[in-house]
Each structure stands twice: as C-alpha cells, then as structure tokens.
C-alpha cells in the first residue's frame, strides 16, 4: 500500500514539482472537474469579506486566521488553474473566473452584517461542512489521478482543507454564544449540503468548460451542468472518501462519528451521489 506524502502548511506555488507534468496521464473528465474547482477555490476573497463581517469585533487573531484561510484557498485556485492551463492551453483561469464572477454572486455576500446561519456557531458548522467536503474531494482526486503534478497539488490541498476544518471546528467551540441544539446543528449542516445544488458548482463547471464563443449555442442550464459537474466529481470518489466526509460532518453536529447515524448518513449520501451522477 502506497503511503501518501504528508504536506505541511505554508507551501507555495514554487514548491509544486511542475516539471514532473505528464500529459499522457491527463484524464479528460478529471480535467473538466479540476477547471471548475479552480474557479470555486479562487473565489475565496468574497467569502473572507463575508466571514469578517460575521466575526466583526471578534479580535485580531480571529481576523488573521480568516485572512490566512482566504489566502490559502485562493492559492488552491491558482494551483489548480495553472495545472489546468498546462493540461489544456485553451483554458485561461483569469478569463474563466471573470465570467464566473460576473454571473454568480451569492446573495448573502451583499448583506450588511450577521450570518445567514443565524449565529457564529451556525456559520462555523456550515464552514465545517464545506471543509469536510473539500478535504474528502481532493483526497479522492489525489488517490484517483495518475498525473504526478495533479496528484501532488490535490494532496497539498486536501491537507490544507483538513486543517481548515480543524480551524473552524475550534472556532465553533470557542464562541461565547449559547450552544445550539443537536437538531438545529443537524438542520444547518443539511441545509449547507443542499446548497451544493445551487449555481456555484454548476455555473463554475459551465464557465470552466464552455468557451465564451459557444455561449450563444450552448446556454447555461443549471440542472444540466449540475448533473455534468456531479458526474465529473463522482469519477474520483470511492466509498471510503464519502464515509470520511460524513464522519467529519457528524462530529461537528455533536454525534458519534463512528455510530449508527454516521453509517446511515454515509450510505444515503453515497446513494445520492451515485444517483446524481447517473
């Protein structure tokens, strides 16, 4: 069994071994998924602005942590985007991202203050759900890819995303607010999972994979591109990646990550993802 390298925090684009790129190992479906992921990751600055409003007055350490998180997320986008540009010279990260930003802006980014989850604790639960998903997703890409540079980038990102989960989990538990009931936590987590069906993933896939000159004959349709994005993502997943995701989410809502709820939720999510990709 091959043991994956352990990547530490603080890596830069120069640390990636770009010279090892092997074009013969690029898989088209995975390339399409990586292009879309690059746009989502690169969009981190807007999330930082939103989270800093949610945590206004929380102190310099919290603000610094959020800014560091945003820098790392944006670097993920740059690394994935650069790899995609090498794999497909017709792809341009900045151009695709400009189209994505023009057509997708979550409503809560424009709100004055406060969390759309109702509290800082609620916001951190939602962020933990996201980091659970990204950590498992990039772990799956790392394990599935035979292209050496993508395998390395995905491994570096997966390690970062797990640290981000821990950051938000610790921030959740450090809040002076009253704790949230189990059912409220579960509702917030499930709500964030359902948001994966919104325009972010579908539209990022569209902007990343449909060139602007073909927009007129290939218009954006959420259901179609949500399905295509789901199909591309599911090519990399195995059952254990999904189970790890579920265990991380179950932990943040306050249940046993190895108990019956985690096992049931893992089975249901695996079935849902498989159906979505069919």
For 211, what's the count of Cα atoms within 13 Å in the CB-facing half-sphere? 7
Render pLDDT for 79-135 as a digit per residue (tens, 0 to 9).
999 999 999 999 999 999 999 999 887 766 666 577 888 899 999 999 999 999 999
Instruction: Report the interhelical angle of 182-194 vs 120-144 (nearest 10°).
Output: 50
Measured between alpha carbons, how far is 203 from 24 in angstroms, rounded to an integer?
28
When pLDDT is cut at 50, 70 and 90, the band that residue 1 belongs to is very low
- How far apart, in whole angstroms, are the C-alpha atoms of residue 87 and residue 232? 17
Handedness of CA 154, 38, 74, 23 (dihedral sign): positive
Contact 96, 80 (CB under 8 A): no
Asked if 62 contacts 123 with a C-beta cutoff of 8 angstroms, the reply is no
Token pair of 60 as six digits: 């310099």
Residue 138 — pLDDT band, cuts 50, 70, 90?
A: very high
Angstrom CA distances, 108 to 29, 45, 194, stand at 32, 14, 16
Is residue 200 within 8 A of residue 106, CB to CB? The reply is yes
What is the predicted pLDDT for the residue at 108?
66
Taking the C-alpha atoms of residue 190 and residue 261, their distance in angstroms, rounded to an integer, is 13
All domains of the chain, ordered by start, with CATH?
A: 25-277 (1.10.620.20)
Q: Residue 176 and residue 178: Cα distance in Å, rounded?
A: 7
Report the range of poorest mean pLDDT among 22-31, 38-47, 155-164: 38-47
User: What pLDDT is stored for residue 66 in this prediction?
Assistant: 96
CB 74, CB 42: distance < 8 Å: yes
Beta strands, E only, 7-154 = none
Both tokens of residue 263? 């096992």
Distance CA 77, CA 90 (A): 17
pLDDT tens for each residue of 53-81 = 999 989 899 999 999 999 999 999 999 99
Counting residues of the chain whose pLDDT is more than 90, the rounded percentage is 72
Q: Directed axis angle between helix 44-54 and helix 120-144, to 10°?
A: 150
Q: DSSP 3-state helix, strand, coil percentages of the chain (rounded to 5)? A: 75, 0, 25
At 168-220, the pLDDT tens digits run 999 999 998 999 999 999 999 998 888 776 788 999 999 999 999 999 999 99
Among 259, 228, 227, residue whose Cα is nearest residue 246: 259
């Amino acid at each position: 069994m091959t043991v994956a390298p352990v990547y530490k925090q603080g890596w830069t684009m120069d640390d990636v071994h770009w010279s090892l790129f092997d074009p013969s190992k690029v898989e088209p479906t995975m390339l399409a998924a990586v292009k879309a992921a690059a746009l989502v990751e690169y969009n981190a600055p807007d999330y930082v602005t939103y989270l800093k409003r949610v945590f206004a007055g929380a102190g310099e350490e919290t603000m610094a942590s959020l800014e560091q998180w945003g820098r790392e997320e944006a670097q993920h986008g740059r690394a994935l985007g650069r790899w995609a540009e090498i794999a497909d010279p017709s792809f341009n990260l900045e151009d695709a991202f400009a189209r994505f930003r023009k057509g997708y802006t979550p409503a809560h980014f424009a709100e004055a203050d406060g969390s759309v989850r109702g509290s800082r604790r609620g916001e951190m639960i939602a962020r933990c759900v996201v980091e659970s998903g990204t950590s498992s997703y990039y772990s799956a890409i790392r394990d599935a890819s035979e292209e050496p540079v993508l395998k390395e980038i995905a491994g570096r990102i997966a390690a970062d995303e797990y640290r981000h989960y821990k950051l938000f989990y610790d921030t959740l538990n450090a809040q002076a607010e009253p704790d949230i009931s189990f059912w409220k936590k579960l509702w917030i987590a499930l709500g964030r999972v359902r948001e994966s069906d919104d325009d972010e993933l579908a539209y990022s896939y569209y902007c990343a994979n449909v060139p602007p000159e073909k927009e007129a004959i290939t218009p954006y349709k959420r259901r179609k591109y949500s399905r295509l994005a789901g199909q591309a993502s599911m090519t990399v997943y195995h059952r254990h990646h999904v189970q790890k995701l579920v265990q991380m989410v179950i932990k943040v809502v306050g249940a046993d990550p190895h108990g019956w709820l985690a096992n049931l939720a893992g089975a249901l999510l695996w079935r849902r993802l498989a159906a979505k990709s069919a």
